[in-house]
Chain A
Amino acid sequence: MNEIFLIALPLVFAAAAFAWPSARTRPWLLPVAGGLHAALALWLLVNPPMLAANVWFGFDPLARAVLPMVSLLFFVCSIYAVTYLQIRAERKNRIFVIALLVMLGLLSLALQAQNLGLLWVAAEATTLVTVPLLHFTGTARAFEASWKYLLVGGTGIALSLLGSFCLGYASLHGGGNGDLTFTALVAQGASLTRPWLITAWVLLLAGYGTKMGLAPMHTWKPDAYGEAPGMVGALLAGGTTTMAFIAILRVKQVVDAAGGGAVTERTLLAFGLFSMLVAALFLLSTPDYKRMLAYSSVEHMGILTVGAALGGAGIWAALFHVWTNGLTKGALFLSAGNIRRAAGAQTEDKVAGMAWRAPASARIFVVGILAVTACPPFGVFFSELKIILAGFQTNNAFAMIAFLGCLLFAFFGMARLGFAIVDGRPRAAARATGKRLIESPGVIIPPLLFLALSLWLGLATPPLLRDTWTAAAKLLNP
């Protein structure tokens, strides 16, 4: 029953953060909770518990394949948070710290949820708890971003509830007894009523696709990532989106078991490629480097979705990509946050010469861009290569050519903007802010750690992780 501590531990720390009197020392609760959570998640990764039948949540192969990544991501971000909250000491941090910890608990719950209803409750609660994180800086732009996030995300989550109801009715109409655990739904298989099943798939894909940020439901993403503090962006891009992706995979497993495999694969492939195309086009034109990261996230969600459409090997590669993308994005978001503070602006017409103003962060940012656009030997290169191989094996050559084209344009777009802000002479506005940004170890070591993890995943993917992904892919695609 150790897996329950993954959920309970952050919530206990959240309660402690609520009661903690000192705003100066409160942020230290984050790395302590994050460290314990990561240690427990890695321990469970090595010693997976037995999954009891018909439980509402559990550390099943799919949770085992991604939850340690989310936990690691949170841990490294929480180290950054301590320095970040010291820099932003003028803002009250109680709600921010509580919301971060509750978010970790809810993500652990959602990734482990074995029941359609529980999964939805956790996803909905995650949406709500993200709002104070986005609103942390308290500016008018932050209010606008949180409003749009809540409106679009709230509508998406409402649609996924309607989809869950439809799936429940498909089960009921097909003779089910109202048991909505995924194992029961998969066992019911072909007796799920088909028209309801397809309606449910469409609604759930639209709903959780909105949370994941697939085009055309991605509109909240650039606003939210553009205005959120860097570490919140990293957690959204690697944590919340992973949760939504896992939700889609679990629903896909049910629809596939009921004989809808052709439908799910077609729709996922189409959505994935469309997201990559939209993201590549926006990456070519956006002038804002934080919004650029959002479009890059839309692109990588597209890549995951394409992977999920390509059978067992594709799902394996997509789970690999969840790790590589999540950790590499961490480096980018944290270094972009540093650059944002050094430059005081986030568009290319106002920001230049960051190699001089914030040398370490600018270097990490450039290496991060290369890593996330699949330069070997970083992890993203290998996971994308596996997806392309899976695509050719499953006779999707045309889709893979489009896939490669989108990757190329995304690379052009990101490299263009990345070098535009790093090179050149610092702009007058940035010079006016006075002395160089102090790049203390607290804001440099976390993104470096992310780059190291990305490199490690690429050069020496641990056999343990490979086996975990194989087990999860086998569960989803027997």
Chain B
Amino acid sequence: MNGTMNLLIGLAMGFSLVALASSRLPSVIRAAAFQGMILGTLPLVLEEKFHWLVVAVAIGTITVKGFVIPSLLRRALRAANIDREVEPLLGFVPSLLLGAAAIIGAAALGNELPLRPEHAKSLLVPGSFATVVCGFILLMARTKAISQVCGYLILENGIYLFGLLLINTTPLLVEAGILLDLTVAVFVIGIIVDRIQREFDTLDTRKLNSLRE
């Protein structure tokens, strides 16, 4: 059981690195979507016995993270008619190196924190922290609004991964995390609505700079 799960978590961590290394927006969106779908299947692997609530959570997560949000993002990409290059503030190689450092750091931190015996051999904690940090890097090191939203999405995936530790005891708290997806939806809808209302040519957040001291 742990083997399959660790394999999937490893794959999800790989997709964070893919997102950090991609130079084009559609592939960043795709990486975040694949990562979301992998995470969506995890509750099924985690649970020994079949429970309809878990299946519902898995289907919901896969639909929202894997299909709804990516398609909204693609729509925003079309609506805003932006050029597909990513334009990093921090280059791809340094971002990747930082991402790799985050994974090593998260593994070290995961070894320090005490875990319950049933979680002891899983990659949930290091996987979660590494994904959160990779999301942060993407959020801060890219200039385009869409890539920042993808960074937020990956950050949120990391938090979801951590939530799986608690899914048996406090399922409601974990499911409340779906509200974060709503935040992403508001981001994207914001872009689309704004686009409809007004010309907003490049969607480059560096141009969002009229408010400053």
Contact = CB atoms under 8 A, between A and B. Distances in A.
A286 interface: yes
B155 A158 contact: yes
Contact of A148 (B112, B166, B208): B208
Interface in B35-56: none
Given A117-B176, A128-B182, A158-B155, A177 B187 contact: no
Nearest to B205: A147
Contact of A128 (B186, B194, B211): B186
Contacts, number: 121
A444 interface: no
Interface string B160-183: 001101101110111011011011
Interface string B134-150: 00000100000100100
Given A117-B170, A147-B190, A195-B113, A158 B211 contact: no
Interface in B193-213: 194, 197-198, 200, 205, 208-211, 213
Contact of B159 (A146, A161, A227, A285): A161
Name the prevailing secondary structure of the B interface residues.
helix
Size band of the A side of the interface? Answer: 35 or more
A389 B81 CA distance: 60
Contacts of B210: 140-141, 144
A420 interface: no
A145 B174 CA distance: 30
Nearest to A173: B116
Contact of A127 (B145, B183, B213): B183
Given A131-B190, A162-B159, A125 B179 contact: yes
Contacts of B187: 150-151, 154
Interface residues of B, number: 43
Contact of B176 (A121, A144, A173, A178): A121
Nearest to A285: B213
Interface stretch (A11-19, A36-44, A163-171): A163-171
A124 B132 contact: no
A285 B158 CA distance: 40
Interface in A183-212: 193, 195-196, 199
27 contacts: A117-B170, A117-B176, A121-B179, A124-B180, A128-B179, A128-B183, A128-B186, A138-B197, A140-B200, A145-B211, A148-B211, A150-B187, A155-B155, A158-B152, A158-B156, A158-B180, A161-B176, A161-B180, A165-B163, A165-B173, A168-B166, A173-B114, A195-B112, A195-B114, A222-B213, A227-B211, A282-B213
Which are the 8 A-B pairs with shortest beta-carbon distances?
A178-B169, A117-B173, A223-B211, A144-B208, A154-B183, A178-B170, A124-B179, A162-B159
Interface of B: 112-116, 132, 139, 145, 148, 152, 155-156, 158-159, 162-163, 165-166, 168-170, 172-174, 176-177, 179-180, 182-183, 186-187, 190, 194, 197-198, 200, 205, 208-211, 213
